Structure 1
């Protein structure tokens, strides 16, 4: 059970990192585009595997979104990625950022 909790914690950090990419003016447009495409794929009714298939449909959304986010992070300069990861890592989940 603790593995699921750890997975959810990592997932939350990745989502906060994606949000930071969208908000940072130094992030390249390609990184922002890949992040937006990941979000659009999750909410889109068009999928590789239909969401009516209970587990496979959700896994499909998660894997494609995860791969698009990893692509977005590869577009970032290494120092910007490190800065954003540090900012996201030190923030607690319940607190708003200034």
Structure 2
């Protein structure tokens, strides 16, 4: 589980530097993104409902606010964890 949390934090930090028109996923890992103040963005991570593990957020930089988290059930055991964020000021971070 600690590995999953570190991976999730890595994804968030890497995504902080690009504007968002679509949700970010694991496929966006390693990309650099640029956001402006008051930008909204989402990160969607896939999970297995039967694994006993889940995606969670440990923390965010001061200039990002977590607005909402959702768990969306797909087909069978696959579920999506949706994290919705908003930038509230300027800053740089690497996740």
Asked whether the two chains share a fold, i.e. TM above 0.5, the reply is no
TM-score by length of 1: 0.29
As a proportion of its length, which structure holds more helix? 1
TM-score by length of 2: 0.30
